[in-house]
Structure 1
Amino acid sequence: MTTFIQLHLLTAYPAANLNRDDTGAPKTVVLGGATRLRISSQSLKRAWRTSELFEQALAGNIGIRTGRIAREAAQILVESGIEPKKAVDYVKNIANCFGKVKEDKKPKDELTNAETEQLVHISPAEFEAVKALARRLAEEKRPATEEEAELLRHDRMAVDIAMFGRMLAKKTDFNVEAACQVAHAFGVSETIIEDDFFTAVDDLRQASAEDAGAGHLGETGFGSALFYT
């Protein structure tokens, strides 16, 4: 028998810009013919994952979301005396194991080409395994083999990965099905987005100077709602 637990939450927030869209305005959704404030499920999960409560309860079992896994390995090689370009070549199979690798032909930083184009959610055990392999490569002064890289993905012990899953389109064997589904939170009533025109004061600018006035002018949207999740 499978047990499902459903949580229905009402959370009130005062006037704020909690979750912004690409223009910097509060995210919204039209529901029942009314425009309501919205907080995306991604934003909610990020807030939970990085909360003090989550950290206290699950310390040591929380995953890391990054595109710099292989870069960290390359950095270990560089610190051991291996040239950056050669270090990137040594960790190429590690990077390919987790996603599509960046290919900058004229990088300002050689280690950039050890990064993946997308973020990857990895467990602390997987991260430690990557660093341990990097230290071995540094000692033996050789690149990682495909077989060694494949072994890095077999220890997925992180609570947030089990709860919220992970997905890589080109690495389907790396996927984890989420045990917890999170819906977007939205306001229970219609909300009118208001504009907040604001200024910032330059403390070293004299009030009597020719350029007296605000050091910065800006405008942003905000709103308030009782959110249903």
Structure 2
Amino acid sequence: MTQPTLFVEVHILQSLPPSNINRDDSGTPKQALYGGARRARVSSQAWKRAARMEFAQAEPASDRATRTKRIAALLAERLSLPTDKGGSGLEDAGANRLAAALLEPLGIKKSAKKEEQSAYLLFFGRRQLDSLIALLDGRAEKLLALPDGDLKNEITKLPVVTALSTGHPAEVALFGRMVADLPALNVDAAVQVAHALSTHAVRTEFDYYTAVDDENTDDNSAGMIGTVEFNSSTLYRYAVLGVHQLRENLTSPDSTRQAAVRFVDAFTRSMPTGHQNSFAHRTLPHLVLVTVRTDQPVNLVSAFEEPVAGHSGLVAESCARLAGELASVGRTWGSPPARTLATYAVEGDKAGEAFGPSLPFPALLDSVDGVVGTWLADGRLPLTASTQAGA
């Protein structure tokens, strides 16, 4: 039997001033060719990390996740803490030895360059380190007294893999984890984030700058000369959250509902930080459109396959294009969204017709909370006002 699915999609139109928030290896703002025109692009990885950092700000420090090659060092640091603070009170040498033994069942390869680091980044929750220490059951000193072979045998009896494959923090549940050496640690991501693309053609420009040496009174020469590349754009951003997958990763309906709402908030407010001090580019979206589907996700970037011309600004026409594409996809494929919620500050009949009335953003989040909560509780979507009126 096919399991029911619920997808919460976030479509955003957002204008950026001159900026370079995501650059390639030569320092040029990332770009892509789409619809035969050169577009500004922000990679999915860049915006996914920005959303994760925004999401983490509302998490207690102990509930946060981290992505690092230094899991052994972090575990040893925990083992060195006094027992009344959750550690084992070990000296540094003993803590390092026991941490290495605890992590050996994971089969994580060590870095060829730095012995104390793993060969790749591992994404895990800080509470999961506490779970590893709890497996010792106060026997840290006794285990350290054993020879290496006996210590290894004792550690293999402990459910180390289980400790890291359960009790995931919300960040890991949302963004997933892939461990090539140990598939048992893999977590299917509940979130997919698309590369953000400008709705229009762009061109890269150059900012020539000089820095003055304040103490140089001998001549008028610059202390430093350089250039930085930039562009400005109106971006279409898209992400989709599979609530069913998030529920599987977190198991708790309440945690799933809270994480879903906070993801929509975090993705909306997030911003990659490239050259942030140079350009102060942080803006808020013109349009946040949330569509809820029970069949499959639909990225509406096809609205901008023909680039927006922007004769009198780009936002209004981009919004009209998105409204038209949403309606067209619903008619053509016979699958309009089950729910449409929007926050926008764009005038025009098409926006109101396609997106419904503009909600204050906190009210939009409350509506998402209600939709997700009802679906998690009994597998259905809440009745809308129009549905109730027709009942």
**TM-score when normalising by structure 2:** 0.49
Q: In structure 2, do the counterparts of structure 1 residues 4 and 123 end up closer, same or farther at CA, with 3 Å as the change threshold?
A: same
Q: Which moved more, 1:165-174 or 1:59-68?
A: 59-68
Bigger CA radius of gyration: 2
Unaligned runs of 5+ in 1: 105-111
Q: Equivalent of 2:37, from 34, 37, 43?
A: 34
- Tell me, yes or no, if the aligned pair for 1:18 and 1:39 is still in contact at 8 Å: yes
Supply the AA of the counterpart residue of 1:122: F
Q: 1:162 maps to what in 2?
A: 173
- Tell me, yes or no, if the aligned pair for 2:42 and 2:197 is still in contact at 8 Å: yes
- Tell me, yes or no, if the aligned pair for 2:107 and 2:181 is still in contact at 8 Å: no
- Tell me, yes or no, if the aligned pair for 1:64 and 1:121 is still in contact at 8 Å: yes
- Tell me, yes or no, if the aligned pair for 2:52 and 2:171 is still in contact at 8 Å: yes
Per-residue CA deviations over 1:10-67 (Å, capped at 9, x if unaligned) read: 111111001111222211111111111111111111111112x6522x4454321111
Q: Equivalent of 1:24, from 27, 36, 48?
A: 27
Give distance in 2, aligned partners of 1:93 and 1:172: 20
**TM-score when normalising by structure 1:** 0.80
Supply the AA of the counterpart residue of 2:98: Y
Q: In structure 2, do the counterparts of structure 1 residues 102 and 54 end up closer, same or farther at CA, with 3 Å as the change threshold?
A: closer
Unaligned runs of 5+ in 2: 82-89, 145-150, 238-391
Q: Equivalent of 1:177, from 173, 178, 188?
A: 188
TM superposition shift of 1:76 = 5.2
Q: Equivalent of 1:191, from 186, 202, 207?
A: 202
Per-residue CA deviations over 1:90-147 (Å, capped at 9, x if unaligned) read: 333444427321244xxxxxxx523112111102321323455689576346256244
SS in 2 for 1:198: strand
Q: 2:109 maps to what in 1?
A: 100
Q: Equivalent of 2:64, from 56, 62, 65?
A: 62
Give distance in 1, aligned partners of 2:78 and 2:63: 23
Give distance in 2, aligned partners of 1:185 and 1:225: 11
SS in 2 for 1:218: strand
Give distance in 2, aligned partners of 1:201 and 1:223: 25
Supply the AA of the counterpart residue of 1:124: R
Q: 1:139 maps to what in 2?
A: 141
Q: Which moved more, 1:133-142 or 1:174-183?
A: 133-142
Matched, 1:206 2:222: no
Give distance in 1, aligned partners of 2:216 and 2:189: 57
Tell me the number of residue pairs that the alignment of Structure 1 and Structure 2 aligns.
215
Q: In structure 2, do the counterparts of structure 1 residues 220 and 130 end up closer, same or farther at CA, with 3 Å as the change threshold?
A: farther
Give distance in 2, aligned partners of 1:133 and 1:196: 56
- Tell me, yes or no, if the aligned pair for 2:198 and 2:236 is still in contact at 8 Å: yes
Q: Which moved more, 1:21-30 or 1:145-154?
A: 145-154
Q: 1:109 maps to what in 2?
A: none
Q: 2:46 maps to what in 1?
A: 43
Supply the AA of the counterpart residue of 2:161: E
Give distance in 1, aligned partners of 2:201 and 2:7: 31
Supply the AA of the counterpart residue of 2:73: R
SS in 1 for 2:165: coil
